[in-house]
Amino acid sequence: MFKIVRKKELNSSVTLMEIEAPFVAKKAKAGQFIIFRIDEKSERVPLTIAGYDREKGTVTIIFQKVGFATISLGNLNEGDYIRDFVGPLGKPTAVEGKKRVCVVGGGVGCAIALPSAQAFKEAGAEVDVIVGFRNKDIVILEDEFKACADNLYLMTDDGSYGEQGFVTVKLQQLLEAGREYDEVLAIGPVPMMKFVCKTTEPFGVHTMVSLNPIMVDGTGMCGGCRVTVGGETKFACVDGPEFDGHKVDFAELMNRNSVYRDREAEVSKTHTCRMETMGKKLIP
């Protein structure tokens, strides 16, 4: 069993939790992920590691409450336990030997982009960070990014905070202005990562993306997370999750990620209904 030692709502749909998991904390590196399972009947769900404290033996996860499992996790509180928490899984972000990088984070993906940006900084790189959010209300981790970025560019779709526009607008500006990067690392929703790759391609900038396919075991035994990279089949859980974005088949990834969409919609519907019925009984 794994104890939730801290819980903080970062915005209306994004939660931070610090979980007591000494073995994971000891080995975790930026770019790696964990798989959690709340109780005996729950699914195994992957989440990228957002931070760790080796001395305290804790691992930080930041997640958006989008499906049954993440909503259920979000309903737990400090002091509660979850059944399983396994990791670190996958390969860490390759930070060595890079002089100048740009880390691009989108929405809740910023939680995963942060430790990679910090790791690049620690490895001695000059780090630009571009983070994008729909609007001011959902901005997360601004101070943390400020602390590790040489230049931080904060974008909102509606211009309610920072600069107006998508992350790709800022990236395009920087590249056109002649800014040179050894690598761009993009982490966020699949369409965002795809467009970041389209933006960097004409400039020939090496671009890595952190993929988020459906996973079951996360140890390489089922191939549920397989993606096509440069025409070859790769298992994101062991070969990734970070891959050369210019070689990733994004259309296939988006298609495969929708396999259980109908069932997920149904589950959240029945779930909400159940809550409503219960609620109505309590508060007539």
Q: Cβ-count burial of 231 within 10 angstroms (0-12 exposed, 13-18 middle, 19+ buried)? A: exposed
Alpha helices in 14-109 (DSSP H): 22-27, 68-74
Token reading at 172:
């395009």
Sequence-separated contacts (24+) of 224-228 with Cβ below 8 Å: 227/252, 227/253, 227/256, 228/252
Is 273 known to sit in a ligand binding site?
no
- Of 14, 18, 20, 37, the residue at the interface with another protein (CB under 8 A) is 37
Q: Among all chains, which residue has been given the structure tokens 């100048």?
A: 100
Q: Does 69 bind another protein (CB under 8 A)?
A: yes
Total residues at the site for another protein (CB under 8 A)?
39
17-36 residues near another protein, rule: CB under 8 A: 23-24, 27
Q: Does 66 bind another protein (CB under 8 A)?
A: no
Is 110 known to sit in a ligand binding site?
no
Least separation in angstroms between CB 174 and another protein: 34
- Of 164, 255, 272, 277, the residue at the interface with another protein (CB under 8 A) is 255
Least separation in angstroms between CB 23 and another protein: 5
Which residue's CB is nearer to another protein, number 124 or number 220?
Answer: 220
Q: In what order do the strands lie in the sheet with 242-244?
A: 163-164, 151-156, 126-133, 100-106, 183-187, 207-210, 242-244
Q: How far apart are CA 102 and CA 14, in angstroms?
A: 24
Q: Does 57 bind another protein (CB under 8 A)?
A: no
Q: Does 263 bind another protein (CB under 8 A)?
A: yes
Binding mask 189-228 for another protein (x = CB under 8 A): ---------------------------xx-xxxxxx-x-x
* DSSP 8-class letter at 211: -
146-165 residues near another protein, rule: CB under 8 A: none
Please, which residues have CB within 8 angstroms of residue 254's CB and are 6 or more apart in sequence?
190, 191
CA–CA distance from 252 to each of 200, 211, 263, 265, 270 (Å)? 21, 12, 20, 21, 29
Is 63 known to sit in a ligand binding site?
yes
Q: Does 273 bind another protein (CB under 8 A)?
A: no
Least separation in angstroms between CB 49 and another protein: 12
- Of 3, 5, 7, 42, the residue at the interface with another protein (CB under 8 A) is 42
Which residue's CB is nearer to another protein, number 85 or number 145?
Answer: 85
CA–CA distance from 4 to each of 19, 51, 100, 191, 205 (Å)? 5, 14, 37, 32, 40
| Residue among 212, 206, 155 nearest 184 (CA) | 206
Is 148 known to sit in a ligand binding site?
no
Q: Residue ranges for the binding site for FAD?
A: 62-64
Residues within the interface to another protein (CB under 8 A)? 23-24, 27, 37, 41-44, 68-69, 83-89, 216-217, 219-224, 226, 228, 233, 238, 249, 252, 255-256, 258-260, 263-264, 267
